[in-house]
Structure 1
Amino acid sequence: MRQIAAETQMQTKDSLIEDLWSIGVKPGMDLMVHSSLSAIGWVLGGAPTVVTALLEVIGRQGTLVMPSATPLCADPTSWDEVSVPDKWLEDIRINLPVFDVKTTPTTMGAIAECFRTWPHTIRSNHPISSVCANGARAQEIVSEHALAFSEGAGTPFEKLYDLNASVLLLGVGFNRCTVLHFAESLVSNRRTKLSRFPMLKDGQRIWEEVPDMGNDNSTHFPAVGEKFVADKNAQSGLIGQAKSTLFSVPELVRFARPYFEKFL
């Protein structure tokens, strides 16, 4: 039996709702959440409690959005989460399952995976960079997701910008803030890479290769976030025990573009 330390503070749905209100989450918000369940502390009911609290605060007129990316559906040479022996690479490519919008799990954490399977949650159909949404504008946000530059134009990230949505970094830093990829996609000197993944086309399994935004690897995103928060463009506080930050998507994008134009 695992013993919970006596000094541990238990988090409940009601305590999380109170913390969400305190940081500035409101009814009617279109809210993208990047999260870490472990950072919140001991949550009674686990990830479903967090999802329930978020949905209750934004209400039926709001939309909850979370990344549901599947990087392990890409070519194994691009995997960051696991390193496999070179002798496995061809067998992996031959047998790698094609992304299924309904069943392929995300690797974005326990809260995001719980949200993916939540009643009425819908998901964009991108093989490696999908986004899930639940609420009033869910269909509008996830219905279009371009294969190339999967965080740029013609994607849910552009739609969040257009809708004046907000982002909540719940226990994670700006290194996890995908909207910064969208901001970078708007500048001429953006960093790029090629993404390669299997997909079905006319009923046939093929390998698709498309241009995509390059990985930041905590090179610039944390610095942008630090400057953005220092300029008082965000609200910060604790949700449970998780250091969290709430801010506007358009405000971050407008702030980040000059930085990328100067420093990339």
Structure 2
Amino acid sequence: MAGLMHPRETVERLAAEWRKAGVEAGDVLLLHSGISRTLRRMREFGFENPDPALILDSFLAAIGDDGTLLLPLFNFDFTKGVPFDIRSTPSQMGALTEVGRLREGAVRTGHPIYSFAILGRRAEDFRGLVNLSGYGADSPFGKLHGLDGKIAVLDLPDQNSQTFYHYVEESLSVPYRYRKSFTAAYLGEDGHAGPRTFELFVRDVENGVLTHVDPMGELLWERGLYRGERPKQGAGLRTISASAMYDMTAEVITSGRAKGLLYDIQNP
């Protein structure tokens, strides 16, 4: 019956589901999320006013006081010449990420296209991080990898979530992508504005390259590297070790199997 569940009970119930999918206390966790079904599920199990903030609280509860949560705040307007303000440019990655951006104590990284909100014990380790390339070794993707972190995906297919693949592709300099520069006005923490240039490792659209990573996701399931549930099933959360994902993706690339698993070519 709607309205009978207390917010704390809601948070605890969701946190328990995330733990079953592989989230653990102390994790450094990158979370990609689609939350509409989770909000509906919250109503179904007795909370009549579901709030994205409670979902954020549930992930923070699952990783505990020693954990660190990374939320993507990706915004592609900078590629069109729109100024970026690290203090106010919104996320284009959904309601949960905006709640995270605005949460007290959140630290935002400084790439104007691929920035992140960081919450938890290691948040200050990310303060002042302004990486040149969105997927570079010094990016939050690289830090996640170096910290032996995890990636969690809530109710989204790999095609609409797993940007970590591009970090692996850049680290191995795959031939079907290349570094492209973007310049626009940039406002930092101090409010100082000026033109700055940043890079992305983009697909070679002139040669018909399409991002096509769902088959790679299926391979991760087959190899037992994903833990949890597929999108729209059960709680809808799956997790994977960033190191395991890197190693499997690198194996596919170096063995010449990237086409059909990570990208495809559009016919003329």
TM over 0.5: yes
Please say if residues 164 and 249 of structure 1, whose CA atoms lie closer than 8 Å, have aligned partners that are also in contact.
Answer: yes
Q: 1:179 and 1:143, CA in 2 relative to 1: closer, same or farther beyond 3 A?
A: farther
Separation in 2 of the partners of 1:61 and 1:185?
Answer: 30
Where does 1:110-125 land on structure 2 (aligned, <5 Å)?
Answer: 110-125=95-110
Please say if residues 152 and 181 of structure 1, whose CA atoms lie closer than 8 Å, have aligned partners that are also in contact.
Answer: no
Match of 1:86 in 2: none
Query: What is the deviation of 1:177?
Result: 0.9
Separation in 2 of the partners of 1:204 and 1:246?
Answer: 39
Could you tell me which amino acid in structure 2 is paired with residue 121 of structure 1? A
Match of 1:146 in 2: 131
Separation in 2 of the partners of 1:201 and 1:41?
Answer: 34
Please say if residues 29 and 61 of structure 1, whose CA atoms lie closer than 8 Å, have aligned partners that are also in contact.
Answer: yes
Choose the corresponding residue for 1:157, options 130, 137, 141.
141
Please say if residues 31 and 166 of structure 1, whose CA atoms lie closer than 8 Å, have aligned partners that are also in contact.
Answer: yes
Where does 1:64-213 land on structure 2 (aligned, <5 Å)?
Answer: 64-75=69-80, 93=81, 96=82, 98-141=83-126, 143-147=128-132, 149-175=133-159, 176-190=161-175, 191-200=177-186, 205-206=194-195, 208=197, 210-213=198-201
Could you give the per-residue CA deviations for residues 114-154 of structure 1, whole angstroms, max 9, x where no partner exists? 1111111110011111011011112224542322x211211
Unpaired runs of at least 5, structure 2: 3-8, 43-48, 260-268
Match of 1:219 in 2: 211
SS in 2 for 1:158: helix
Q: 1:21 and 1:64, CA in 2 relative to 1: closer, same or farther beyond 3 A?
A: same
Match of 2:25 in 1: 27
Match of 1:49 in 2: 54
Separation in 2 of the partners of 1:21 and 1:200?
Answer: 39
Separation in 1 of the partners of 2:181 and 2:234?
Answer: 36
Separation in 1 of the partners of 2:155 and 2:92?
Answer: 16
Runs of 4+ in 1 over 3 A off after TM superposition: 200-205, 215-220, 238-242
Separation in 1 of the partners of 2:164 and 2:143?
Answer: 11
SS in 1 for 2:229: strand
Aligned alpha-carbon RMSD (Å): 2.6
Match of 2:237 in 1: 244
Separation in 2 of the partners of 1:160 and 1:153?
Answer: 10
TM-score (norm 2): 0.78
- Aligned: 1:260 with 2:249: no
Structure 1 residues 27-36 or 196-205, which shifts more?
196-205
Query: What is the deviation of 1:249?
Result: 0.3
Could you tell me which amino acid in structure 2 is paired with residue 12 of structure 1? T
SS in 2 for 1:214: strand
